Amino acid sequence: MRRESCELLPEIYVLPGESHLVSRPMVLRTVLGSCVGVTFRVPRLGVGALCHPMLPRYPAERSAKLNRAAGCRYVDFAIRDMLSQLDALGALRTEVQVKLFGGGDVLPVGDQESRRPTVGRLNCEAALRVLEEEGLAIAASKLGGISGVHIQFETRTGEVLLRRLDS
């Protein structure tokens, strides 16, 4: 029954490096490999959002050259940018529901390379660090692994359907 309700809602496919904030019930979906997907929901305000950053840290040396769209490719920037938008709407950090997905090691890594942290792992660590620094609790997460995932976030209920992709 729930699946039917999701299918009736408008949908937005969130591409890598994009973030979307919506103020009406929608389904936000994406496919994640080493990227992370961070969902935000504020029931009191009726808003939901999905960020799909690809790299862990915003390059400080390029900060003057990157615009907001380019910045959303980075985990730390994308999360803080979304929180800034939620702050502007009057959201309290204590009411923001956050869920975190992805960060998989989807590409084979050779023996010598295995000692270096992977992009997926670095993305997970960056997301966890920034969310903690910003005082947000994580309601649910599924991080890591060796396969990609498809997520479907229903902003009205906060439900996230996750489907593992074949590795």
pLDDT tens, position by position, 68-93: 888 999 999 999 999 999 999 999 99
pLDDT value at position 67? Answer: 83
DSSP structure class, residue 89: T
| 3-state DSSP assignment of residue 68 | helix
Cα separation, 98 vs 140, in Å, equals 7
The neighbour count for residue 51, using CB atoms within 10 Å, is 27
How far is Cα 120 from Cα 56, in angstroms, rounded to an integer?
Answer: 9
Decide if 49 contacts 21 (C-beta within 8 A).
yes
Is residue 56 a contact partner of residue 73, using CB atoms and an 8 Å limit? no
The radius of gyration of the chain's CA atoms, rounded to the nearest angstrom, is 16
pLDDT of residue 1: 37
Listed as ranges, residues in the chain with pLDDT below 70 are: 1-7, 62-65, 108-114, 167
> How far is 20 from 41, CA to CA, in rounded Å?
12
Predicted local distance difference test score (pLDDT) of residue 7: 56
* 151 phi and psi angles, rounded to 5 deg: -120, 145
Give the pLDDT of residue 2: 47
Nearest-angstrom CA–CA distance, 129 and 150: 24
Task: Map out the domains of the chain with their CATH numbers.
Answer: 2-164 (3.30.1330.200)
